[in-house]
């Protein structure tokens, strides 16, 4: 009986962290600035993240938040196009940590492949493009990182 209860508690904890919630430790200064500037609730942004840190698509609030964030972090150029060299550095550093893939040895190679795969994405507007590109990068890095981790 104890094993069943412990298993259920672990499952609930996993579900809350990995499905539908961005933990506080990943909310940065720029996130807070955009939440404040756009008059959003922190919880709204945190709950927009799903399994593997994939963002909710088709939500104008999330789109606007990501545009704000990408501008603040210099991931977006003045003309609204994405600054992939800066995004690549960020993804190679942060995405592997967020996905608990710190031990993957070829982070930069995987990130280069992800950018090549995702840099041509075009959404219905700049916010949609930003969210879809983020999701593509995060998804590619997650899958490739898990494969590599399984081989190491």
Mean pLDDT of 101-106: 89
Cα distance between the two ends of the chain:
36
Q: What is the pLDDT of residue 2?
A: 40
- The residues, any chain, with a CB within 8 Å of residue 23's CB and separated by 6 or more, are 17, 46
Q: What is the pLDDT of residue 51?
A: 86
Taking only the tens place, the pLDDT of each residue in 19-72 is 456 777 778 899 899 999 999 998 999 899 888 899 999 999 999 999 999 999
Q: What is the pLDDT of residue 79?
A: 94
**Contact in structure between 32 and 69 (CB atoms under 8 Å):** no
**Contact in structure between 118 and 111 (CB atoms under 8 Å):** no
Taking only the tens place, the pLDDT of each residue in 107-147 is 999 999 999 999 999 999 999 999 999 999 999 999 998 88
Residue 12 scores a pLDDT above 80: no
Residue range(s) defining the domain that contains residue 48 = 2-151
**Contact in structure between 145 and 101 (CB atoms under 8 Å):** yes
Q: CATH code at 111?
A: 1.10.238.20
Domain count, the chain: 1
Q: What is the pLDDT of residue 26?
A: 73
Kindly report the pTM of this predicted structure: 0.82
Residue 13 scores a pLDDT above 50: no
Q: What is the pLDDT of residue 72?
A: 96
Buried b (16+ CB within 10 A) or exposed e, 52-82: bbbbeeebeebbbbbbbbbbbbebbeeeeeb
Q: What is the pLDDT of residue 11?
A: 36
Q: What is the pLDDT of residue 123?
A: 96
The residue ranking higher by pLDDT, 123 or 4, is: 123
Q: Give CA 108 to chain center in angstroms.
A: 17
What burial class does residue 96 get, using C-beta atoms within 10 Å of its C-beta: 0-12 exposed, 13-18 middle, 19+ buried? buried
């Amino acid at each position: 009986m104890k094993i069943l209860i412990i298993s259920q508690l672990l499952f609930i904890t996993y579900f809350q962290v990995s499905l539908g919630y961005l933990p506080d430790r990943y909310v940065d200064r720029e996130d807070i600035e955009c939440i404040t500037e756009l008059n959003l609730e922190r919880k709204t942004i945190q709950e927009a993240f799903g399994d593997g840190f994939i963002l909710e698509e088709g939500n104008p609030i999330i789109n606007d938040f990501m545009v704000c964030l990408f501008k603040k972090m210099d991931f977006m150029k003045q003309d609204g196009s994405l600054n992939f060299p800066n995004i690549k550095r960020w993804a190679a550093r942060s995405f592997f940590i967020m996905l608990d893939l710190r031990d993957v040895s070829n982070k930069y190679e995987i990130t280069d492949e992800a950018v090549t795969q995702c840099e041509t994405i075009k959404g219905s507007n700049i916010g949609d493009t930003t969210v879809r590109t983020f999701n593509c990068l995060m998804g590619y890095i997650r899958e490739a990182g898990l494969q590599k981790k399984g081989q190491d």
